Structure formats: structure tokens, C-alpha cells
Structure 1
Amino acid sequence: MESVPLSCPACGRAHAYSPPAYPCPCGAPTAPPVLRGAPVEPITHRTWNDDWVTVRCPACGRLDQWPQPELCCPCGTVLRVPVRPPAPGDGRTGTRPAGPSHIPLPRTAPAPRPAFRAVALHGAGDALATAARYLSWLGYREVTRPPEPSPARIDLRATGLIARVDTASRPSSLRDVECLWLNALDASVGSVFFSVAGYAPDAVARADGLGMPLFVLDPAGTPRPVNGPADELLGTGP
């Protein structure tokens, strides 16, 4: 994306800024459109909502939430870069319809898999082991656990994937889902979420919009798909 000139209001330093691009679920790189000529603002207080902006994918027309563009000036001031809001409708034939929250893409069906062998869960270790076996069963390669606890709450890694296994007694939250998605964006990989206690309704809605598969681990040790992306992953594999 073409860079735009910005000026730090604290020290007056000039910058040429290009916002980072992230992959849309359709695969196209998407970057927030910077509002050229608008003044940047120093960030003195953060809220969760202020860290997100609505962006339309230029390829498929999908509207999603993306990280708010920021610039760290060498003077130490962190600047919030204004973004042009999307128009209500731009006439793209690829714009997602208002009804379904998830439309599976046509894919070639994989070879039939043997039935997944469930093992009853008796603790967090069993949940991690079950999620790891399940990812391998789905078709992910080189599924491993990080050698040390991850501050980013990444419990499993595979080729092209990170996963979280939430064993808490309360439903996994919207923030849990968004944190995993952000870490996956940063690493340019996919993400899958497993939860023992299920999900808050807004977490499921957000995962639908992000295309993130959600599974619940039942006590018998069988991962159950919760949303459309999980159904698609179960049906077609990675």
C-alpha cells in the first residue's frame, strides 16, 4: 500500500507511514485505508474498542475488525493513525450477504478419515492431549506443545496453525478469541480454539466473523464443533 505523510504533534518529526496488511479469511492481503491529511493523535489512554477499526476487504468485500493502525515516533510518542470508514455499500459482487455469518468455500473433499478415538478427560493435561490428537486427526502436521508456558496463551502449534485449549471452568470469552486471532495474524498462520466450558455468545459471533473454528471438549473426550468454520474444518480438513 502507498505510504502517506504524517507529522508527530509532539516533536514535529515527519514520517512516511504504510499500514500493515493482514490476510482476510478469503486470503487477500487487507490493510486499513489511512485517512490522508487527517491529524494523528497521541495515545494517552487505551480501551479495547479503540484498538479496533472496521475494514472492508478489497477482494471479497467482507467487513471485519482489524487492529487500529499505530505509529511509534522516535520521540517516544505513540500515535493513533486515522482510518477512512467503509462506505455503507460499494456494489461489490463479492460482498458478504447479510444473512449467513459463514459461507464455506467449495473445496475438494479429502479422503475419509477413521473415527476419532475419544479418551475421557480427567484434567487439563488430558484436554491438551486430546486437542493435539484431534488436530493430527484432522490432518495438521507436526502438532506440538510449546516447551514453556506461552504468555500469549498458545497451547499447541502445528504447521501453519496455533491453537488454544481453555480448561477454565467459565466459558471462553470474546477477548480470549480475539487474542488468539491477533497472535495468529502476527504469525501469519491459522487458529483453532478448544474450550472445556464452552463459549460466551459474543465470542461465538466474533469467531464466526473471523472464520475461526471453535470446538468444545466434552467430558468423554470428543471435540464438538460449535460454529460454521469448525463444521467446515471437520468436513474438509485443513
Structure 2
Amino acid sequence: MSESVSVRCPACRREQFYSAPSYPCACGAPVIPPLDPAGTATAVTHQVWDEQWVTVRCASCGRSEQWPRPELGCPCGTLLRIPVAGADAEEEAEEAAAEPAPAVARRAFTPVTIRTARDAVTAAALYLRWLGYRDIRRADQRPPSGIGLAARGLLAQVDPTVRPASLRDVECLWLTAMTESAGCVYFSLAGYATDARTRADDLGVPLFVLDLTGTPQPVNSLADDLDATGASGAL
């Protein structure tokens, strides 16, 4: 169980207690970012994708993976970034995490509740990692709508809006993936237009809907297959 640390907001000086959430390692053991009780929380004024993740090593199997960096919302409106012990060694650990992991049986996916657009992106990234994709990062090219993610051999688009994904959204993702010789997958909170679903089947694009629990639900048979086989069956 995660230990609580005292966090003081630099803006209003309010003090709170924070416990880091646990995440599921591929081996099945819980992984908890080690909080630094001697560290000082900092205010987040600008969200940068690379800074929203921290590398944590599983104490059970030794595997290093990237997980959402601990953050806490203060009642005054300030978003606080919680210091993590050993964060200076992240670059070295990230290189180890980028190496192909040995085949292991997948445990049940543990979702992250979706309350914000960032939560939707986090849920999709965690799901892709659960499928077995490696080196998940922000995509180089920004999609016309939503947020793009990239992994080895894959482009993903996450649409956290309340508008169903359109035919153009699906075709743009597919075309971008084609230029990079990669596969692609789409995640949407609001579902898909009928013609978008039909076109996705023609182009071979797996479609998922993110429910508010953070669990991707397959929309077409391609998504069903990806959910069942994982990255090894898709590449």
C-alpha cells in the first residue's frame, strides 16, 4: 500500500496528504511510484507530454515501465506535481523499458477513471501498454482532432470530445499511419458516425470507445481481434 506524504501548495500554502495510486505491471504485481517525502511539490503551469510520465521499476520482476506522474489538484485551483524518489535515473530506466519484454500472460486490464481529456489519453496509453506496445509517446504529427499517440509500429488517435468521430477523422489517421508504414487504432469517448465505422472496416482500423471507467470497448471485429491477441498479433 502506498504511504501518504505531506504536500504543501506553493500558491496558497495549504497542506494536504497524498497517496500515489498503484498500477498493474505485466507480471501481475502492483507498481506504485515511490514518493519523495523530502521533496517539494511544484505548480504545473504548462502541460508537456514527456513530463507527465515517470519510469518506475517493478519490485517483483524488475521490469521498468512508464506510468502517469503523480499529480494533485489543490482546492485553490493549482495543479501540483508530486516529487518522485529516484526520478533523476529516469533516462537510464527508460532505455531499459524500451527493450522488448519477454512474453508474459496478460492479466486483466486495470482502467483509470476518466474525468478529463488527459485521463482519456492516459487510459488509452495504459491500454496500449497492456496490449504489449512499447515506447508509447506523443505522436510527431498532430491529428486534425483529438490527441495522437505513437508506439513501435503503431499510431493511435484519442478523441476526448463529445462529438462522434467522423469519416474524415478515421481516414486521416489511416493515411498518416500509411505514410509511416505503421498500423493504427482509434479511441473515442463519443463513438463513431455510421460511415466512419464502415470505412474503418474497409481500411482495417480497429475502433474502440472509452467508457467513463477508462476501459476501451471494441466497436468492430478488428478491435475485438486486437484486444484478444495484443501487439504480437497485430504487428
TM-score relative to the length of structure 2: 0.52
Structure 2 equivalent of residue 203 of structure 1: 196
Find 2:169's aligned residue among 176, 186, 203.
176
Task: String of CA shifts for 1:131-184, please: whole Å, max 9, x gaps.
Answer: 00100100111111248x725555100000111001111100011000000000
Deviating beyond 3 angstroms after TM superposition, the runs of 4 or more aligned structure 1 residues are 151-154
Please state which structure has a larger fraction of its residues in helix. Answer: 2
Distance 1:208 1:234 in 2: 16
Q: Does 1:142 align with 2:135?
A: yes
Task: String of CA shifts for 1:159-211, please: whole Å, max 9, x gaps.
Answer: 00111001111100011000000000111100000000000111111111111
In structure 2, relative to structure 1, the CA distance for the partners of 1:203 and 1:234 (3 Å cut) is: same
Pairs within 5 Å for 1:46-125: 112-125=105-118
Pairs within 5 Å for 1:121-136: 121-136=114-129
Question: Match of 1:122, SS?
Answer: coil
Find 2:160's aligned residue among 150, 162, 167.
167
> Which amino acid in the other structure matches residue 182 of structure 2?
V
In structure 2, relative to structure 1, the CA distance for the partners of 1:151 and 1:224 (3 Å cut) is: closer
Find 1:155's aligned residue among 136, 148, 161.
148
Question: Match of 1:155, SS?
Answer: strand
Distance 2:143 2:132 in 1: 27
Structure 2 equivalent of residue 20 of structure 1: none
Distance 1:221 1:151 in 2: 22
Structure 1 equivalent of residue 186 of structure 2: 193
Q: Which consecutive unaligned segments of at least 5 residues does structure 1 have?
A: 1-109
* CA deviation after TM superposition for structure 1 residue 232, in Å: 0.5
How many matched pairs? 128
Distance 1:139 1:187 in 2: 20
Does the 8 Å CA contact 2:120/2:214 hold for their aligned counterparts? yes
In structure 2, relative to structure 1, the CA distance for the partners of 1:202 and 1:129 (3 Å cut) is: same
Pairs within 5 Å for 1:4-19: none
Structure 2 equivalent of residue 231 of structure 1: 224
In structure 2, relative to structure 1, the CA distance for the partners of 1:111 and 1:151 (3 Å cut) is: closer
Task: String of CA shifts for 1:3-33, please: whole Å, max 9, x gaps.
Answer: xxxxxxxxxxxxxxxxxxxxxxxxxxxxxxx
Does the 8 Å CA contact 1:152/1:183 hold for their aligned counterparts? no
* CA deviation after TM superposition for structure 1 residue 119, in Å: 1.5
> Which amino acid in the other structure matches residue 178 of structure 1?
E
Distance 2:157 2:118 in 1: 13
Q: Which consecutive unaligned segments of at least 5 residues does structure 2 have?
A: 1-102
Does the 8 Å CA contact 1:177/1:203 hold for their aligned counterparts? yes
TM-score relative to the length of structure 1: 0.51
Question: Which protein shows a greater Rg?
Answer: 1
RMSD: 1.7
Does the 8 Å CA contact 1:217/1:224 hold for their aligned counterparts? yes
Structure 2 equivalent of residue 14 of structure 1: none
> Which amino acid in the other structure matches residue 118 of structure 1?
P
Percent same amino acid among aligned pairs? 56
